[in-house]
Amino acid sequence: MKVAIVYASTTGNTEALALAAEAGAKAAGRDVSIATADTADAAATLAADLILLGSPAMGAEQLEDSMEAFFSGIEGSLSGKKVGLFGSYDWGEGQWISDWSDRVTGAGATLVNAVKAHLTPEDADLEAAKQLASA
């Protein structure tokens, strides 16, 4: 199974979740690729069996700019795909991940899970990110 992990990170918190997801995918024997949203290849991402996307909450509970651009570019091609989401937030309850989940399912994809961490990911958050690849 091929797993594509694409993420944006501003403080390193979402990157920590991405690296945990990568470790989980490798431990599960998956063929994994990892890239930042500003360098990821959309076609290669869409060719994966499982797509894991990560972004911190920005502004008024929005995706980070490079992830918004990347996600908007593939959103119309997600029908029938398996997608997992992850990211970190600082304020509120993490509404951005619920909104993003709605966009994923609205595009016709199957949401396997969404992992959100408040500020620095704790051990339980990192473990949840590792489990994303076993969906």
User: For residue 135, what pLDDT is reported?
Assistant: 63
Residue-level pLDDT at 62: 95
Q: Which helix (H) or strand (E) holds 134?
A: none
CB–CB of 84/113 below 8 Å?
yes
CA-wise closest residue to 5 among 14, 17, 18, 16: 18
**pLDDT value, residue 20:** 98
Burial 105-116 (b: 16+ CB within 10 A, else e): eebebebbbbbb
Tell me what pLDDT residue 73 has: 98
Nearest CA to 100 among 82, 112, 85?
85
For the chain, the maximum distance between any two Cα atoms, rounded to a whole number of angstroms, is: 38
- Look at residue 134 in the predicted model and tell me its pLDDT: 77
Question: What pLDDT does 88 receive?
Answer: 96
Lookup result for tokens 């795909």: 81
Q: What is the pLDDT of residue 70?
A: 98
Tell me the two tokens of residue 120.
């620095």
CB of 74 within 8 A of CB of 111? no
Residues of the chain with pLDDT under 70: 135
Contact 56, 8 (CB under 8 A): yes
Asked whether the whole model's pTM tops 0.95, one would answer yes
